[in-house]
Amino acid sequence: VKIQSMDVLVTHILAQPPHRKGKYIALDSLLYSIGATKLIQLTESQESEPLVSSFVQEIGNRGNNANSVAELLGKFLSLLREEMHTKAGIDLNRVGESKKERRKKEKQTSEEILRKTINQNEDDMRLLPSWINVWVQPFASALLCSRPSRQSHISSYCLPLIATMVGGTARKVDASHCFAALLNEVNLMGEADSVLWAKLEIIHHANKLLKSNCCSKFLRNEISNAITLDTLKMALIHESSKIRLVAFQTMNP
């Protein structure tokens, strides 16, 4: 009965108009009680717009709710990552250990486990594609909206969330993979100026968070595919001041 009443309460909250700030404050307070997976299920039962898309769109509206929605979105995607990886049998705490911690534990394990750990590539993809698919398309589409002011607003709120989504700034390899996935998604959307700006903006935010020494091979490859040297030179002298600025920022994180 308690679970059913919680479902009814959350369903009622989800049905509130998107401009109501109390909607996001209430969802934030109930998120860890209801769970991220269950929240998606309740949203789908209402045949509503996908949860991540609705959150990103509300952030883009540049209203008073942007901070509340962005904070909720970061927590939601982080919790969903934990739930999906746990269901898949992936120990995120093990993945997030530092090299020093791993070496200490390796000394206490059997030789077989030790060999497996040594053979692991630190650069291997450790995030479920199914989790990435939940947010990557809504983020990419929002960055390519037709209104420049909305683009910038979404970028300034959503791209920094990647650190929160992967479990904190210490998980730089996972964050690098997220930036790579987003860059790949945007790169598939053509060659318009909006696409060029979005690609440069993603690289700029990735550089700020990760620095060059934490850039995974996935991100390096995506950057090479997305922005050639000639493209960068062209962006630096582009007729759009917005593109010129982000191109310069990309070179000087």
Using one digit for the tens of pLDDT, what is the confidence trace for 66-109?
999 999 999 999 999 999 999 988 876 654 444 455 455 444 44
> Which burial class, exposed, middle or buried, applies to 71 when counting CB atoms under 10 A from its CB (0-12, 13-18, 19+)?
middle
State residue 106's pLDDT score: 43
DSSP 216: -
The residue with greater pLDDT, 104 or 59, is 59
Please, are residues 143 and 201 in contact by the beta-carbon 8 Å criterion? yes
SS3 240: coil
State residue 28's pLDDT score: 94
Tell me what the mean pLDDT of segment 42-59 comes to: 87
Taking Cα atoms as reference points, which of 140, 129, 134, 128 lies closest to residue 199? 140
Whether the pLDDT of residue 175 is over 50: the answer is: yes
The tokens 């030790």 sit on which residue?
114
Please, are residues 222 and 206 in contact by the beta-carbon 8 Å criterion? no
State residue 207's pLDDT score: 87
Percent above pLDDT 90 for the chain: 51
State residue 4's pLDDT score: 66
For 179-206, b/e burial (b = at least 16 CB within 10 A) is bbbbbbbbbeeeeeebbbbbbbbbbbbb
Mean pLDDT score of the chain: 83
Kindly list the distances between the CA atom of residue 155 and the CA atoms of 8, 33, 71, 192, 200, in Å, as whole numbers in the listed order: 34, 30, 14, 18, 11
The residue with greater pLDDT, 213 or 203, is 203
Residues 6+ apart with CB under 8 A from 217: 123
Kindly list the distances between the CA atom of residue 96 and the CA atoms of 90, 132, 194, 243, in Å, as whole numbers in the listed order: 11, 18, 35, 36
The residue with greater pLDDT, 37 or 103, is 37
Angle (CA) 125 131 134, round 5°: 135
Q: How far apart are the first and last CA of the chain?
A: 53
* Low-confidence winner among 26-35, 49-58, 217-226 (lowest mean pLDDT): 217-226
Model confidence over 157-169: pLDDT tens digits? Answer: 999 999 999 988 8
The residue with greater pLDDT, 107 or 142, is 142
State residue 125's pLDDT score: 64
Kindly list the distances between the CA atom of residue 43 and the CA atoms of 12, 36, 65, 174, in Å, as whole numbers in the listed order: 10, 11, 20, 27
State residue 118's pLDDT score: 32
pTM: 0.83
State residue 101's pLDDT score: 52
The tokens 């929240």 sit on which residue?
39
